[in-house]
Structure 1
Amino acid sequence: MRSLARRLALPVAALSAALALTACQSGDTSAAAPKAPSQPSARTTGATPQPAPTGTPTGTPTGAPANADTTRPTAAPTSRPTGRPGTQPAARPQGADRVPCTAANTKIVASKVSRPINHLVLTVTNVGSRPCDAPHAPLVGFDHSQAPIRVLQGSKPQAVLGLAPGESGYASVILTGEPGGPGEDTHGTTVRTIRVNITPDSSTTVTAPSGTYADDGAAVSYWQQTLEDALTY
């Protein structure tokens, strides 16, 4: 009986040891295995998962901003306006503001010159506020003479003298005649005043330079734009 009990006790002890070993191995495996991270639930976060884009949108070039206007030119214009609107003066009709030169809007002065000899110069200056034109040669008379001296027709300029306010024109007065010409061996006189008709119906009287002597051969040129042109006659 004792022998039989010993035989039964050995298998029971072996079986208990095996079960204990198996239980230890199972506990170690569950302790060593890492737990998988828990995924947030869409219901708990309140966010709805969005599908990932699968490609580049077809309406916008790659790399361009989403709101870019691809129909506009990318190059800057090659020319720009040269001035601001309304800054350019309006064109005025030619001659619209011009008036005739008269004794009322001009001042005339008689002056001596050293060359050529026996010459005076009449200077007409526009003292008005508007441009004026002097289309005629001046009609010149000495003192109380009834007839004007002759006009040098060869001195008529190609263009009418036009004077802006403040500008001057010139006419040459030949005081004595050339030898063999009009006025030779005729009576001369000392001149004190000179009457000038800048137009046939507008006259003014100026003082002659001291010692002015004229004879019947005296003559006057047309109005010229420069003093040099006037003194060529």
Structure 2
Amino acid sequence: MRIATRLLSRSAASSMVVAAALALVGVQAAGQAASAAPKKAPSAVTCTAANMKVTVTEAARPINHLLLKATNTGTKPCYAYSAPHLRAGADAQAPLPWARETTPQAVVTLEPGQSAYAGVLTYSPDGEGGGNEKTLGVYFADRKGGVAGKEKTLKLPNGGTFFNSAATVTYWQDNAADALSW
């Protein structure tokens, strides 16, 4: 009887040790899972003139092109939707058309400090009319392609740039080479 009681006591003690060990492992795993939970990422916003620094430069190649660069100066990621709405000159009646063949596969998302690029064809021999413009008005697009925020007015390089009816702008790209490759 003593042997049976001793075996029963040992087996009960072993079971209690195993149960305690499993409980401890469960508590530790729960603590690790809680500490390993990802921090909530800041939600992205729409890129606008308020959270972007925008510059325009003359492209070396191809000829008759400008490069628009927009850098996220905000603290949250932002979406550069579609293409910029551009107004060539203070008296422009309509924005430059978007080059639909440059639509990227996804919306360009910019982390703080990252840039998006758009290429601007200023004129073509096939175009009509035109004139030398000194400023370029830039509006960012919202999710539906409308205007988001206020205009950012830039001075054009060389004291002015010639635009005619063939002028177009690309969709936002994540690198300058793609923006100027069309």
Q: TM-score of the superposition, structure 1-length normalised?
A: 0.60
Q: 1:156 aligns with which of 100, 103, 123?
A: 103
Aligned residue number for residue 105 of structure 1: 51
- In structure 2, distance between residues paired with 1:85 and 1:153: 47
- In structure 2, distance between residues paired with 1:153 and 1:162: 19
Match runs of 1:30-45 below 5 Å: none
Deviation at 1:229, TM superposition (A): 1.5
**What percentage of residue pairs aligned between the two structures are identical?**
35
Deviation at 1:120, TM superposition (A): 0.7
Aligned residue number for residue 209 of structure 1: 157
Q: Which ranges of structure 1 fall in alignment gaps of 5 or more residues?
A: 1-56
Give the number of equivalent residue pairs: 167
Aligned residue number for residue 54 of structure 1: none
Q: Which ranges of structure 2 fall in alignment gaps of 5 or more residues?
A: 23-27, 142-146
Whether the 8 Å contact between 2:80 and 2:116 is mirrored in structure 1 is: no
Q: 1:176 aligns with which of 114, 119, 123?
A: 123
Change (3 A) 1:70 1:107: closer
Deviations 1:23-63 (A, max 9, x none): xxxxxxxxxxxxxxxxxxxxxxxxxxxxxxxxxx77779xx
Match runs of 1:40-189 below 5 Å: 70-71=14-15, 84-90=32-38, 92=40, 97-144=43-90, 145-177=92-124, 179=125, 181=126, 183=127, 186-189=128-131
Q: 2:139 aligns with which of 174, 191, 197?
A: 197
Deviation at 1:164, TM superposition (A): 1.2
SS at match of 1:137: strand
Change (3 A) 1:188 1:91: same
Give the CA RMSD over aligned residues.
3.3
SS at match of 1:123: strand
- In structure 2, distance between residues paired with 1:215 and 1:136: 23
- In structure 1, distance between residues paired with 2:6 and 2:56: 86
Change (3 A) 1:133 1:58: same
Q: Does 1:230 align with 2:163?
A: no
After the TM superposition, which segments of 4 or more aligned residues of structure 1 sit over 3 Å from their partners? 57-61, 69-73, 83-86, 89-92
Whether the 8 Å contact between 2:81 and 2:140 is mirrored in structure 1 is: no
Deviation at 1:91, TM superposition (A): 6.1
Change (3 A) 1:153 1:70: closer
More helix by share: 2
Deviation at 1:224, TM superposition (A): 0.8
